[in-house]
Amino acid sequence: MKMQLAEIARAVSAENDYQRWQNVEVTSVAFDSRRLTNGALFVPLEAANDGHDYIGNAQQNGAVAAFWKLGHPGKPTDFPILEVRDPLQALQALAKYYLNKVDPKVIAITGSDGKTTTKDMTAAILAPHTNVVKTHGNFNNGIGVPITLLNMSTNTETVVLEMGMDRPGQLDFLSRLVEPDIALITMIGEAHIEFFGSRAKIADAKMEITNGLKEDGVLIYNGDEPLLRERVSQIDQQTLTFGHQPTNDVYPTAITTDSRQVDFKLKQFPEVQFHLPMLGTYNVNNAMAAISIGRLFHVQPQQMQTALAQMQLTKNRTQWVTGACGEQILSDVYNANPTAMLAVLRAFSVVPTKGRHIVVLGDMLELGEQAAKLHADIAAAIDPNLIDEVYLLGEQMQHLAKRLTTETKMTKQVHYYPLAQKAKLIQALVADVTADDVILLKASNGIHLDQVLRALQKPTA
């Protein structure tokens, strides 16, 4: 982006006299004073810490201006400040203004699982044909989506936005903020069921992504999901489906897989074999969703084939890495819900290895009253004939430990640790691993299994 402060002030209805700063040029927007670039507008958000307290850090790190909450004490007098009623709302208003100014095609992607992978696949398919920007990392909420929009260049033609939610109303807000041309729902699972109570209510919340969908927009959704099929009749826009049933607009006719890749063919393009450089047949659904978007952009199937074969996934989404002693680690430490955990466990179980299959699983968060049962039910994907060692971390994982030790008799193979004993788990795991082993790491981000990953990758003295 590139905007003078006077234009930003008008866009957010700034309250103070900014005339002496009006020609200051802003080239980016950031809310973390540690991670901004020269020319940034600093947005001081109030959460666990008050962003206003870090205005000095922001200045030192290159900020050229900042929002400031009207009436908040300590306002600088020697630095370009725009006073606003609420810095977060101002950030969102500025993002809306800038989005309308750049006017790219907007693709909004949500779902209980597969959002990030589908976003990456979609951007890979579109990149050779349009100037595309995609959500960076996990910037998928009411803060992250505006930051993504404000940091796109003025020549952006298409923006691919991942949209997360954990409560009703969040997708409604985001959808109305960006007014997508294409909305996509990957699937309905149990993620965040603590706040919804049922999959049906999760489906209602996911459908909020259509609330801002343009009148001539398109909704793409998983047609194998009855909860979505029931709800699409409520919208007037065009709909397209993907899934494994032949009633879908896009569906596979053949799927083959091994430990590192998946190949598949589609009924719609029988002459093309698509290749995914990643584990798990469940990723075929994500690819079909991205291909459905590619079709709307008139991308040729052979071009989509090349893009998917060469794509790069966001870090720590079913990513193979090598440990310090040569072991292969499947890192999926960013997020977890029951559907995704069952799928990746089944795929990991059949990965060929000269050594052992070791799984390290942490709590799946925000499952509410059903958490104990949903954790215990993960046992269905842990076959004692295929999985050699099971390391479990977190208060909810004790339910899986109990199920495994009582119903599958894996007493010696199951190693349970409360979250406070993560260091002990790391010590035991590092001592246990050999070069021939394969290891799966999966948990919700709040469990921080990335610490376990770093320990496995750290050379021992």
Residues making up the annotated binding site for ATP are: 111-117
For 256, the token pair is 């083959």
Nearest residue to 359 (alpha-carbon basis) of 435, 258, 442, 280? 442
Nearest-angstrom CA–CA distance, 29 and 40: 5
Place of tokens 């099971």: 390
- Reduced to 3 DSSP states, what percent helix, strand and coil does the chain have, rounded to the nearest 5? 40, 20, 40
Nearest-angstrom CA–CA distance, 16 and 267: 60
Place of tokens 């958490």: 371
Q: Please spell the DSSP secondary structure of 266-298, one letter per residue.
A: ETTEEEEEEEESSS-TTHHHHHHHHHHHHHHTT
What number of residues does the chain have?
461
Dihedral of CA atoms 396, 330, 222, 187 in degrees, nearest 10, equals 20
Binding region: 111-117
Query: Residue 41 forms beta bridges with which residues?
Result: 29, 65
Distance of CA 399 to the CA centre of its chain: 27
